Amino acid sequence: MMARISLMLAIALASCVDDPGGIATTFARETFCPDARVHVAPVPDLALVASEASRPHVEPWHEPVAPPEIARDPERMKLWTAKRDADHDAWARQRELAGRRAIQTTPIFEVTGCGGARLYVCHSGRHAFQCVPIDSELSAMTSIACKHGGAIRATRDGAIACTPGEPPIDRAACVAACPNDGDCTSRCGGDSACALACAADAARCRLGCESSAREQCDASGLGIFGACTLMARDEQSARDAATRLGDAAATYAQAAARQKRLAAATAEQQRCSDSCRGTGEPRAMMTCLLECTTTARERCEGDEPHLDWCEAFRSEERALQQRLGQ
């Protein structure tokens, strides 16, 4: 069965006229392009690649150190080294296998005609290929990449090449490296302001991943195939989330700052008012109290005049002014 599938793949990749899955006919019908002007060609350098976040995890290799009693004995050290080398070979095979599983073997085809271009990915079935537009296969966990590394470059006329450069950004792995709710909870404990600020930072981190991936996709030219559309939508969703959390964190921080100013102003007014009690003469005492209240009101408001939180100071200030006939 595997040999049959491999043969089908080889035939499809070697020929441009087989029209796997009828993609030329579909393209011609949907774009109103005459059949004779539609061309199908395999793109063997490209593949769908799974995110590192979805691959089997392989721990980094940690070079072991031989115990002193073995290191001093050449014969024992030889046996220990052979075991170490065998362990390293097994680890290298495991890592290579994880990398191979990330690259899908489903062939990719390019269809061009009448100034348009599309990419299709074709899955082999029991009797034929089932081909779908490549953008329907893309997600944060699956992207288009060069099979052997490098950057993708697509021109306006649909020519695609793999060139030296940075491979596509692994969006899922990038996002996974950003702080999550658990990180914020452990970092901030019960501090709500800290937790909100941490969540806002995490949202900005995720937005950075999505924006970088979308910008890279646009620069590669893959946008002409619709391969950047999903990234643009995910970027907008990440931007909306970052804005929402950023606004919430800013609002909470502002409220906390106001509460702190109110508490400080109230404490200062109390200390100042206590010092006024010894002035003796009633008018002098009320004048002193008015000065204390005005200072407290100004401190409470800060750079936000007429702040509602400070209304108690303003009411007391007006009452003292009326009593003094001001």
Phi-psi region of 58 (alpha: psi -120 to 50; beta: other; left: phi over 0): beta
* 66, 80 Cβ separation under 8 angstroms: yes
In sequence order, which residues have a C-beta less than 8 Å from that of residue 297 and are 6 or more positions away?
265, 310, 313, 314, 317
298 within domain boundaries: yes
106 within domain boundaries: no
pLDDT digits (tens, 9 = 90+) for 212-227: 999 999 999 999 888 9
307 within domain boundaries: yes
Which residue segment(s) compose the domain that 279 sits in? 259-323
163 within domain boundaries: no
In sequence order, which residues have a C-beta less than 8 Å from that of residue 226 and are 6 or more positions away?
118, 133, 134, 135
pTM of the predicted model, to two decimals? Answer: 0.69
* 7, 13 Cβ separation under 8 angstroms: no
314 within domain boundaries: yes
pLDDT digits (tens, 9 = 90+) for 226-272: 899 999 999 999 999 999 999 999 999 989 889 999 999 999 999 99
167 within domain boundaries: no
235 within domain boundaries: no
Number of domains within the chain: 1
* 111, 39 Cβ separation under 8 angstroms: yes
DSSP label at residue 128: S
pLDDT tens, residue order, the chain (326 aa): 333 434 344 444 444 345 777 899 999 998 899 999 999 999 999 988 888 777 666 678 889 999 999 999 999 999 999 999 998 888 887 776 665 556 777 889 999 998 888 999 988 766 667 888 888 888 888 889 898 888 999 887 778 889 998 889 999 989 999 988 888 888 888 888 888 999 999 999 999 999 999 999 999 999 988 899 999 999 999 999 999 999 999 999 989 889 999 999 999 999 999 888 776 788 889 899 999 999 999 999 988 887 888 999 999 999 999 988 86
* 197, 183 Cβ separation under 8 angstroms: no
263 within domain boundaries: yes
Place of tokens 């008012």: 273
* 156, 209 Cβ separation under 8 angstroms: no
Q: What is the largest CA-CA distance in the chain?
A: 108
Instruction: Please state, in angstroms and rounded to a whole number, the distance separating the CA atoms of residues 107 and 271.
Output: 80
Strands 160-163 and 116-124: unpaired
